[in-house]
Amino acid sequence: EAEVAQSPRYKITEKSQAVAFWCDPISGHATLYWYRQILGQGPELLVQFQDESVVDDSQLPKDRFSAERLKGVDSTLKIQPAELGDSAMYLCASSPPSARSYNEQFFGPGTRLTVL
Amino acid sequence: SQQGEEDPQALSIQEGENATMNCSYKTSINNLQWYRQNSGRGLVHLILIRSNEREKHSGRLRVTLDTSKKSSSLLITASRAADTASYFCATANNAGGTSYGKLTFGQGTILTVHP
């Protein structure tokens, strides 16, 4: 069964360092999402891609976060510099083609980030 | 910001009992979805109910939607220890434009089923 892949699964870094997370969505899924989930809360959308284009990054802290999906397939989320408050689970999800279809989203296992 | 509020925040029951979780939201929606998350893992989609539907079933799951009250409930019947997880509701709103497909999640209900 096709799955969303994420790496690394765990990342420990010191504040002010740079970190990067990678996501490979299910093949053929045009829409890709990055979420941040703070412990004890629901996921919050950081950025949404349709193919290689960003369609929503309104909640992305652009002074330190960046995301790209250059070929419209896999994606990278970067934080530079990391801050203590960035400690969270970073989840990637994808959904089938068509930005106008209200489909379920398929989530990867997440990357647990700890900033010391 | 999160749209949904879930109730209760935590629920503890015995195996075999039914579990009911509630979700309220604020804006008009296209659909409402329920997801499950095991500790430290990603979310798994359980069920989707569209705004023109009132009830939907899937196996031991029953979801209701009341758009007039902007609320939904998830019922898990004959619970099992393996149902222990966090359960989240998520709404897809009707705003259109770049909001297509965007989900807004609630805070979640932590369900513990004791064997």
Domain ranges of chain B: 5-114
Question: Is position A1 within any domain?
Answer: no
* d(CA A71, nearest CA chain B) in Å: 20
Q: Do B92 and A112 touch (CB under 8 A)?
A: no
Q: Which two tokens stand for residue A85?
A: 């408050």
What CATH number has the domain bearing residue A72? Answer: 2.60.40.10
- Contact, B4 vs B24, CB < 8 A? yes
Q: What is the mean pLDDT of residues B12-20?
A: 97
Q: How many structural domains compose chain A?
A: 1
Q: In chain B, which residues have their Cβ closer than 8 Å to the Cβ of A6?
A: 42
Q: Which residue has the higher pLDDT, B94 or A30?
A: A30
Confidence of residue A99 (pLDDT cuts 50, 70, 90): very low
Reported as a single tens digit per residue, the pLDDT across A29-84 is 989 999 999 999 999 999 999 899 998 999 999 999 999 998 889 999 999 999 99
Nearest CA to B3 among B100, B101, B91?
B91
pLDDT at residue B92, as a whole number = 87
Contacts of A99 in chain B (CB under 8 A): 100-101
Average pLDDT of chain A is 92
Distance from CA of A35 to the nearest CA of B (A): 10
Would the pLDDT of B1 be above 80? no
Q: A20 lies in a domain?
A: yes
pLDDT at position B6, please? 87
Q: How far apart are CA A32 and CA A94, in angstroms?
A: 4
Q: Is residue A110 part of a domain?
A: yes
Instruction: Give every CB contact of residue B28 below 8 A, 6+ residues apart in sequence.
Output: B51, B67, B93, B94
Which pLDDT does position B98 carry in this prediction?
53
The correct CATH number of B5-114 out of 1.10.1060.10, 2.60.40.10, 2.40.170.20, 3.40.50.300 is 2.60.40.10
Question: Which of B45, B46, B104 best tests the A interface by mutation, with the highest count of A CBs <10 A?
Answer: B45
pLDDT band per the 50, 70, 90 thresholds, residue B52: very high
Domain-located, residue A5: no
Which carries the bigger pLDDT value, residue A39 or residue B96?
A39
Closest CA–CA distance from residue A56 to any residue of chain B (Å): 6
Q: Are A107 and A24 contacting, i.e. CB atoms less than 8 angstroms apart?
A: no
Nearest to B100 among A45, A91, A100 (CB): A100
Residue A85: other Cβ atoms inside 10 A: 10
Query: Does residue A9 surpass a pLDDT of 70?
Result: yes
The token pair at A66 is 């960046």
The parent domain of residue A60 ranges over 16-97+106-115
First-to-final CA distance of chain A: 37
Lookup: tokens for A106: 């398929």
